[in-house]
Amino acid sequence: MRGDTNEQALLKGLASNDSRAIEALYKDHFGMVQSYILQNNGSYDDARDIFQEAMIALYEKAQSDNFVLTCQIKTYVYSICRRLWLKRLQQQGRFSQSVENLEETVGVEEEIEDHEKRNAAFAIMDRALGSLGEPCKSLLEGYYIQQKDMQQLAAMFGYTNADNAKNQKYKCLMRLKKLFFSQYNIGE
């Protein structure tokens, strides 16, 4: 019972970007994933990337309101990592037999599918922002990601007043939206 509440607390912490929770998750589960990937033709870098992907999937899942984890975090993380890694091996044509399955796994097909969809949306926004150029990119990042207000942004970018910054932000935003929607499939 105690284990359960502990895991719930960890997930809550993760969902609210609590760095202690994130650190605990790394300490508890990274080693297992790293040795799995190293044993299956992967490098240390691969292990770092795959584990990060799995943490992102868990983070985004933990943020949704109706989220319940039906298994241990360990099992979930391991299953996601394993699936992602097998997929990557397959994509690279580095297929090898994987009979080793020492840890318990759960079906994560749906999660992987969702995760890939979100990856695609993330990439579209990333590309759109990247092709905006400066100062638009930094201005919009300042507003939407660092969540600074117009006053602060005007000071950072050397605009004489907040209205000028607003004006510039509007132009940049229109360009970003155009770039974004040219790639983004609304039907999805």
Partner 1 sequence: MQMDDILLQEAIERYLNNEMSEQERAYFEGLRTSTPEIDQLVVEHAMFQHEMDFYASRRRIKSQLHDTYNNLLQQGILQDGAEKSTGGRIVQLFHRYKRVTGIAAAVGGAIALVISGLVVYFSPVNNNQLVQLSKDIEVIKRNQQYQGKLLNEVKSKIPENARLISGGTGFLIDTRGYLLTNAHVLKGTGAVVINEKGEEFNAAILHIDQQRDLAILKIDDPEYEPLRSLPYGIRKGKSDLGEEIFTLGYPRNDIVYGEGYLSSRSGFNSDTLTYQLQISANPGNSGGPVFNRQGEIIGVLSTRQAQAEGVAFAVKSGFIYSMLADVKKAGTADLDNIKINNRSTLRGLDRKDQITRIENFVFFVKAYQK
CB 92 to partner 1: min, Å: 8
In angstroms, the Cα distances linking 144 to 68, 72, 148 are: 29, 34, 8
Cβ-based nearer residue to partner 1, 7 or 60: 60
Interface residues with partner 1 (CB under 8 A) are 17, 19, 22-23, 26-27, 30-31, 34, 38-41, 43-45, 48, 52, 55-56, 59-60, 63, 92-97, 99-100, 118, 121-122, 125-126, 144-145, 147, 166-167, 170, 173, 177, 180-181, 184, 186
Cβ-based nearer residue to partner 1, 144 or 157: 144
CB 101 to partner 1: min, Å: 10
CB 83 to partner 1: min, Å: 19
In angstroms, the Cα distances linking 43 to 77, 87, 122 are: 18, 15, 25
Six-digit token string for 182? 């040219």
All residues at 6 or more sequence positions from 33 whose CB lies less than 8 Å from its CB, including other chains: 47, 50, 51, 54, 77, 78, 81
Cβ-based nearer residue to partner 1, 4 or 177: 177
Cβ-based nearer residue to partner 1, 4 or 120: 120
Cβ-based nearer residue to partner 1, 157 or 184: 184
- Nearest of 64, 113, 61, 104 to residue 84 by alpha carbon: 113
CB 70 to partner 1: min, Å: 23
CB 99 to partner 1: min, Å: 6
Cβ-based nearer residue to partner 1, 62 or 108: 62
CB 170 to partner 1: min, Å: 5
| CA atoms lying within 13 Å on the CB side of residue 103 | 19
- What are the CB-based long-range contacts (under 8 Å, 24+) for 33-38? 33/77, 33/78, 33/81, 36/78, 36/81, 36/82, 36/85, 36/103, 37/81, 37/85
Residue type at 72 in one-letter notation? Q
